[in-house]
Structures are given as structure tokens and as C-alpha cells.
């Protein structure tokens, strides 16, 4: 295996950047392989085109007869682009995308064949659903699951396959995917936000949530990655001593992009342009061999689809460049992990960002309404938001010194804090003329001016306001954005519904003017949501103590965090908004617990195998070399040999002690695993893996990493951190 390590290094050092031809402007490439509006105009009848437009705008169902016209046009376009197959492209609860390819090809007898793709095939497919996670929604022998076309996300061609974005539901209609609840949440927030936006502009008829994600990742040469069993099987390193130089000098962050990596990025961006994924930003991140890319904001459902597609494309493009992409939140100990910041906002069909301050007091009152309601929603549902970002891999990142803590809090900056403090002083009831003038001119009216220079950025806040959007920073890099976006849009929808009821009640029952009623309710919300606002260092022990005093949760691990998903409060809200029923929620809870158990179980097995099959044999081999050396010294120096072999004897002793600690640790870990596996309740088993199995990881790793520092580099089999992180 040591030979494999050095062969991999040699292979990596001989790599050259793959040449990428870019003969066309990005704007000309953009969306070329997407069944976009402009393409639909060419390939669809006027009636079919209007039907798709109405489905996108209002959610109106497409008639099956019209679907036949759409499928015909879509097929002709796809075949003209070289497609031979089609698939319903969906996002099951596995965390990755899924697809079953069917050919357009059909036989018609007499040795003849045609290309066929009808409306029924466009609208619905029936993949075998038996092996997808279902959380008990259906039995294994009931394999029927349905994918149904989502016309709000355009079809696209990847390779030679027409991909049709779809939802995935069970025979009973329960959601088995990420997309279905997200679409329901987006519909809920659209309706609730539109109703509130009409206070300020009667012309608003639709509000859409927007999302801009930032994808962080590591790139490791494929040969080096293949030499590490833990990277191959777990997507992260379970062993490895930190190199002498890591990220201490901050010399990688925003530095010159390595040539091979830049070539990969250019190739990836070209693929993204063809698929209509509007990637715009690329740069080195803080850790060595860590990078980031980010797109232009899009409608949330489309943005989620694009991120899921991107992660798949990144892997495929990486193969061409002899790279392995690591999305794991913490693939290397001792250096920064990776997140996927979700930048969220709301915008109207009249072109207004509801979280963007305006040029008039009325526009700023609108901004404050949505701004304060969002903070209130987070305050009331911080445990649910924490649950949506919980995973075995993100547990390694949350609370580490480069990431947000497990405590959810909002950061809004000193200027907006001052504005809210002023609004809190508003008189309860009707406002006096002087008070209205003060508010509109000196408080609300100055918001654009004070935000112009608002450069405060709190990198330790999990949910920060960054000028015209909220940034949910605690989302993990492996996550499907749909889950946190479903929860965020749902809680904001619920909050806006409650807000409108209160305002309308004051107008009707207290005979208040609209502005007075809005100010009164906002004042109440500012007071109610003070606990969630925090402007300081999220890493500090003082904040942990303060957060506990405020009653904020600090769920450090996934089994604990997931409890909020099945709380009565969460279930009632999702049921009221018709986003998920109790069966769907409980199924997700079960699936996520099972996923947590399996991931910790797999890593435990990998760690035991590597420690016993790589580390211990290598340690014994080196120990035997030292023993031979000591025997030689004894032959030469006779009775004085101990004086001359003192250091060797110490190392021999240390190796024996560490081997014993590693081996006994693995044995105890296996026993803990056996006990956990006997538990039938998923939650109990998850806690057993969390509290009884996982703690052995650090103990075993510690002694393995110490041996790495002692053993001869020439015989150490595992590719080291310095090679994984600095070989380019």
C-alpha cells in the first residue's frame, strides 16, 4: 500500500491542465440545452405554449390533450439536439438525484420503428420505488411510486438524455422527495406575502421566494483520493495528522487559482452555461484545495434544481480532469469545512425585492414589515431551522471555529438594531402626528442612507441580514437546499398570515389607520423576537451561556436536533399550510435517523478496518525494524547498548502502547455497535450511535495520528494530509 501511495503521488505530479476551448461567449452558450421559453415558442403550438405559461404563473393543471402537443414539440427539439432517451429527473430522500432512462424508440411491427414520446410519458412515469427511502410510508412489496412533471422547472438535455424535472410521490400521493413539500411551501409564502404586500401596492399579484446558494467544495486528485479508503467510502478522512502548514497564513483564500483547478472550473462553467445554471463567481476558499462557486439569484425551486444538478455535473466534469470532488462538510480535521450558504429573499411580480430598502418611507415600511416578520418567524421556529440542517456530516462543522454554532441566531448589524430600538418606542395605539413625522422622516425614511454604508458582516451568525436578503449560513455543503428552504418559506408564510390577521383586526376593531396598525404589530414583534437577535461572537462560551438564558436551543447533534421535526408545533404548522401531513413528516424523521445511523455505522467500520489493516501492521513493521536495530546495537555495544538505544526503545514502547489503545478502542467500539444494533427504536439507536459509538472515533484517531508522526514516512501506507491538501 505504501507503493500505491507513492505511485499516486507520482501520477499526480505528472498531471497537466486539461485544455478547454472557449470559442463562444457565455451569453451565447447560456441555456442552449434548456427547453426555455424561446425554444417553446419555436417548437410548441400557441395553445400549448400558453398552457405551460399559465401552469408556471398560476399552478393551473395542463390538460392531457395539450400535454400531447407539448411532448411532441419537446421530443422534436430534444432529438434535434442529439437526445436518444428521456427521464423524469427527481430528488428522492437519498440526498442525490435519481433518473430512469427510456428511449424514444418504439417498434411498430413489420421490422419498423419510430421515435415516440407522448403526453402521458411527459406528465407521469412509474419508477420502481421499493428501494428508495420511504420512512414506512409504503411496504417494500408495494413498489409503485410516481414521478410527475414539474412545469415550473424547465426540461434540459444532459449528454444524450432529455431530463424532465419531476416530483416523486407514493401510490397514496404522499411526498417521497424534497421537491413536493418545497413547491407547497413556495405556494404558501406566495399567497401570504402577496396579501401583505397589497397593503403597500395593490398591483402586486404574486410574490416569489428567491435563492442564491454558495457551494463550497474540496478538489483532490483522483489518484490520491483512490489511495485513501476513507475518502472512497465516506467522502472524508477518518485519520490523518494535520500538516505543519495548514491554513494559518490565510494564503489560499482568494489567492491565484491553481492551473488544473482553473481548467476544471472553466469546463464546469461551460457545462453550467449550456444547462442554464447561471454560475457567476469562483474563488479559492480558506482551506488548502478548497474552493467556492456561486450563481446569480433565481426563483427558489429552480435554484434548488440547479444546485442538485450542479453537484452531479461537478462530479462528472471532475472525472475528465482527474479530480475527486469532496462535498463533505468536514473532510479534513483541523482546517475549515464546507458550507452552502442559502441567500434568501422575496420579490414581487412588480419587480420589488421585499427585503430591499426603498427610496420612500412607504417602501421602507414595507421593507420593515417583511424584515421584522422574518426575524419573528426565526425566533418562533429556531429549533425547526436547526433540524433542517442536521446531518451526521454537518455535525462535524456546526460549532467548529470556522462555522456558525449549533445555536440559531440572527445578525442584523448596529444600524438596523438602532432602527428597531426606535420603533420599539412607538406608542401603543394610535400615533400622534408628531410621532408619525418622527418615524417617517427620522427613522424609517433614513434606512437606505444608513444601509448604504452597512458593511457589518458577522461570519459567526447562522442567519444574518446582508443588505437585501437573509443568509442562512449553517446549511451544510452536502445538503439539498430544498429542506431548509421548505422550512424557511413555511415559517415566514405562517408568520405573515398571523401578522395580517392582527393588522386587519386592529383596523376593524380598533378603527386604526393602516400605518398605525402596522406599526403597533411590528412594535410587538420587535419585543417578542429580541431573544433571537445577537450581534456578538457566536463562537464564544459567553454566547452559549447567554443563549441558554434566552431559552434558545443548542442541539449539538443530529438525533437531538431532529426532535423538532416531529414536534406538535411543527406538525400543526405544516398541516395548516398543507405543506406536509403527519405521515410525511414522521417518514422524514425516520429516514433521517436511519441515514444518521448508517453513516456513523459505515464510518465506524471503515475506521476499524483502516486502523487494523493499515496502521497497526505498518506500526508493527516499523517496530520490527527498530527491534532489529536495537539487537544490532547490543551486538556492538554489549552491556552499554541501552545507553545507545535509549530513544529506539522509547519509540518501541510508545508504538506498543498506542497499538494497544487502538486495538482495544476498536474492540470496544464494535461491542458498542453490537449493542446499538439490537435496539429497534430508530431514535434510541441513533442516540446510541451518537453517544456510545461515535466517541471512539476521536480516541482511535488520536493514537493513529500520533503513530503517523513516529513511523518512517517511506513505509506509511496512507496518503498524508500534506499530500492531499498541497499536491496540485
Q: How many CB atoms neighbour CB 680 within 10 A?
A: 7
Q: Is the CA virtual torsion 421, 422, 425, 429 positive or negative?
A: negative
| Lowest mean pLDDT segment, chosen from 292-306, 557-571, 636-650 | 636-650
The pLDDT tens digits of the residues spanning 533-574 come to: 998 877 778 888 999 999 999 999 999 999 999 999 999 999
What is the Cα gyration radius of the chain?
29
More confident residue, 127 or 40: 40
One DSSP character per residue, 23-40 reads -S-HHHHTTTTB--HHHH
DSSP for residue 353: B
**Distance (Å, whole) CA 31 – CA 608:** 48
**Distance (Å, whole) CA 120 – CA 561:** 42
Q: How many CB atoms neighbour CB 452 within 10 A?
A: 11
Decide: residue 362, CB within 10 A, 0-12 exposed, 13-18 middle, 19+ buried: middle
| Lowest mean pLDDT segment, chosen from 85-89, 197-201, 636-640 | 636-640
Residue 137 has pLDDT above 90, yes or no: no
**Distance (Å, whole) CA 337 – CA 395:** 11
Q: Do 543 and 533 touch, CB atoms closer than 8 A?
A: no
Specify the length of the chain in residues. Answer: 728
The pLDDT tens digits of the residues spanning 312-333 come to: 999 999 999 999 999 999 999 9
Q: What's the mean pLDDT in 633-640?
A: 85
Maximum CA extent, the chain? 105
Q: What's the mean pLDDT in 216-227?
A: 97
What's the pLDDT band for 173 if we cut at 50, 70, 90? confident
Torsions phi, psi of 256, nearest 5?
-65, 130
Q: Which three cell numbers stand for residue 96?
A: 442525490
Closest listed residue to residue 693, CA positions, set 572, 597, 609, 619? 597
Q: How many CB atoms neighbour CB 448 within 10 A?
A: 15
Which position has the grid cell 398591483? 203
More confident residue, 159 or 247: 159
| Lowest mean pLDDT segment, chosen from 65-69, 247-251, 333-337, 696-700 | 247-251
Element spanning 261, H or E: helix 259-274
Strand partners, 215: 293, 340
DSSP for residue 426: S
What's the pLDDT band for 437 if we cut at 50, 70, 90? confident
Q: What's the mean pLDDT in 694-701?
A: 97
**Distance (Å, whole) CA 358 – CA 335:** 41
**Distance (Å, whole) CA 224 – CA 4:** 9
Strand partners, 149: 166
Residue 1 has pLDDT above 80, yes or no: no
Average per-residue pLDDT in the chain? 91
**Distance (Å, whole) CA 637 – CA 633:** 6
Instruction: Give the pLDDT score at 129.
Output: 54
Residue 80 has pLDDT above 80, yes or no: yes
**Alpha-carbon distances of 135 from 101, 173, 591, 665, 682, rounded to whole Å:** 26, 14, 5, 33, 11
- pTM, entire model: 0.94
Residue 361 has pLDDT above 50, yes or no: yes
**Distance (Å, whole) CA 381 – CA 12:** 48
Please give the distance of CA 225 from its chain centroid, rounded to a whole number.
23
Instruction: Give the pLDDT score at 457.
Output: 58
Q: What is the tally of helices (H) and strands (E) in the chain?
A: 28, 17
Closest listed residue to residue 586, CA positions, set 86, 104, 135, 98? 135
Residue 407 has pLDDT above 50, yes or no: yes
Element spanning 466, H or E: none
Instruction: Give the pLDDT score at 583.
Output: 93
Q: What residues have CB less than 8 Å from 455, skipping those under 6 apart?
A: none
The pLDDT tens digits of the residues spanning 703-727 come to: 999 999 999 999 999 999 999 999 8
Element spanning 411, H or E: strand 410-411
**Alpha-carbon distances of 445 from 368, 416, 574, 582, 585, rounded to whole Å:** 11, 13, 37, 45, 44
Residue 456 has pLDDT above 80, yes or no: no
Closest listed residue to residue 532, CA positions, set 590, 465, 479? 465
Amino acid at each position: 500500500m505504501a507503493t500505491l501511495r507513492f505511485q499516486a503521488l507520482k501520477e499526480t505530479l505528472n498531471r497537466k491542465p486539461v485544455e478547454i476551448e472557449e470559442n463562444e461567449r457565455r451569453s451565447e452558450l447560456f441555456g442552449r440545452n434548456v427547453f426555455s421559453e424561446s425554444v417553446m415558442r419555436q417548437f410548441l403550438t400557441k395553445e400549448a405554449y400558453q398552457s405551460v405559461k399559465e401552469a408556471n404563473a398560476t399552478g393551473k393543471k395542463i390538460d392531457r390533450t395539450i400535454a400531447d402537443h407539448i411532448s411532441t414539440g419537446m421530443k422534436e427539439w430534444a432529438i434535434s439536439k442529439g437526445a436518444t432517451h428521456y427521464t423524469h429527473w427527481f430528488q428522492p430522500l437519498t440526498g442525490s438525484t435519481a433518473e430512469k432512462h427510456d428511449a424514444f424508440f418504439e417498434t411498430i411491427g413489420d421490422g419498423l420503428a419510430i421515435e415516440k414520446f407522448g403526453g402521458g410519458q411527459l406528465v407521469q412515469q412509474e419508477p420502481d420505488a421499493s428501494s428508495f427511502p420511504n420512512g414506512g410510508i409504503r411496504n417494500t412489496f408495494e413498489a409503485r411510486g410516481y414521478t410527475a412533471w414539474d412545469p415550473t422547472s424547465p426540461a434540459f438535455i444532459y449528454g444524450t438524455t432529455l431530463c424532465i424535472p419531476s416530483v416523486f410521490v407514493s401510490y397514496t400521493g404522499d411526498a417521497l422527495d424534497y421537491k413536493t413539500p418545497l413547491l407547497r411551501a413556495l405556494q404558501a409564502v406566495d399567497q401570504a406575502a402577496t396579501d401583505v404586500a397589497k397593503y403597500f401596492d395593490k398591483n402586486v399579484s404574486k410574490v416569489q421566494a428567491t435563492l442564491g446558494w454558495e457551494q463550497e467544495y474540496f478538489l483532490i486528485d483522483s489518484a490520491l483520493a483512490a489511495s485513501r479508503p476513507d475518502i472512497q467510502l465516506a467522502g472524508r478522512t477518518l485519520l490523518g495528522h494535520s500538516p505543519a502548514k495548514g491554513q494559518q497564513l490565510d494564503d489560499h483564500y482568494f489567492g491565484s487559482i491553481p492551473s488544473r483547478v482553473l481548467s476544471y472550473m472553466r469546463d464546469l462553467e461551460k457545462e453550467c452555461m449550456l444547462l442554464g445554471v447561471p454560475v457567476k463567481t469562483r474563488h479559492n476558499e480558506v482551506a488548502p484545495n478548497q474552493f467556492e462557486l456561486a450563481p446569480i439569484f433565481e426563483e427558489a425551486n429552480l435554484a434548488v434544481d440547479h444546485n442538485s444538478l450542479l453537484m452531479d455535473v461537478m462530479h462528472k466534469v471532475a472525472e475528465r480532469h482527474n479530480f475527486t470532488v469532496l462535498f463533505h462538510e468536514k473532510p479534513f480535521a483541523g482546517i475549515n469545512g464546507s458550507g452552502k450558504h442559502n441567500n434568501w429573499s422575496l420579490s414581487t411580480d412588480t419587480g420589488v425585492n421585499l427585503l430591499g430598502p426603498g427610496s420612500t418611507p412607504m417602501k421602507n415600511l414595507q421593507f420593515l414589515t417583511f424584515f421584522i416578520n422574518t426575524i419573528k418567524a426565526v425566533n418562533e421556529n429556531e429549533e425547526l431551522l436547526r433540524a433542517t440542517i442536521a446531518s451526521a456530516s454537518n455535525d462535524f462543522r456546526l460549532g467548529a471555529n470556522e462555522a456558525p454554532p449549533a445555536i440559531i441566531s440572527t445578525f442584523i448589524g448596529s444600524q438596523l438594531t438602532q432602527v428597531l430600538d426606535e420603533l420599539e418606542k412607538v406608542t401603543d395605539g394610535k400615533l400622534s402626528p408628531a410621532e408619525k413625522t418622527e418615524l417617517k422622516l427620522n427613522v424609517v425614511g433614513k434606512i437606505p442612507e444608513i444601509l448604504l454604508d452597512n458593511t457589518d458582516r458577522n461570519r459567526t451568525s447562522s442567519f444574518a441580514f446582508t443588505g437585501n436578503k437573509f443568509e442562512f449560513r449553517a446549511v451544510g455543503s452536502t445538503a439539498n437546499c430544498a429542506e431548509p428552504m421548505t422550512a424557511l418559506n413555511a415559517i415566514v408564510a405562517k408568520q405573515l398570515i398571523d401578522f395580517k390577521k392582527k393588522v386587519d383586526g386592529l383596523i376593524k376593531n380598533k378603527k386604526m389607520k393602516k400605518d398605525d396598525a402596522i406599526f403597533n404589530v411590528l412594535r410587538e414583534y420587535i419585543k417578542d423576537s429580541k431573544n433571537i437577535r445577537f450581534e456578538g461572537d457566536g463562537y464564544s462560551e459567553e454566547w452559549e451561556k447567554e443563549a441558554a438564558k434566552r431559552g434558545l436551543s443548542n442541539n449539538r447533534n443530529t438525533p437531538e436536533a431532529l426532535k423538532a421535526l416531529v414536534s406538535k408545533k411543527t406538525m400543526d404548522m405544516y398541516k395548516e399550510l398543507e405543506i406536509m401531513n403527519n405521515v410525511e413528516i414522521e417518514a422524514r424523521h425516520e429516514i433521517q435517523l436511519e441515514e444518521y445511523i448508517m453513516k456513523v455505522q459505515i464510518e465506524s467500520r471503515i475506521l476499524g478496518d483502516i486502523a487494523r489493516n493499515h496502521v497497526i501492521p505498518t506500526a508493527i513493521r516499523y517496530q520490527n525494524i527498530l527491534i532489529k536495530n536495537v539487537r544490532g546495537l547490543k551486538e556492538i555495544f554489549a552491556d552499554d547498548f541501552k545507553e545507545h538505544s535509549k530513544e529506539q526503545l522509547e519509540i518501541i514502547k510508545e508504538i506498543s502502547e498506542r497499538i494497544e489503545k487502538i486495538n482495544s478502542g476498536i474492540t470496544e467500539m464494535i461491542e458498542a455497535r453490537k449493542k446499538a444494533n439490537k435496539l429497534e427504536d430508530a431514535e434510541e439507536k441513533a442516540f446510541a450511535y451518537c453517544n456510545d459509538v461515535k466517541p471512539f472515533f476521536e480516541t482511535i484517531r488520536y493514537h493513529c495520528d500520533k503513530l503517523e508522526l513516529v513511523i518512517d514516512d517511506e513505509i506509511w501506507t496512507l496518503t498524508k494530509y500534506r499530500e492531499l491538501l498541497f499536491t496540485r
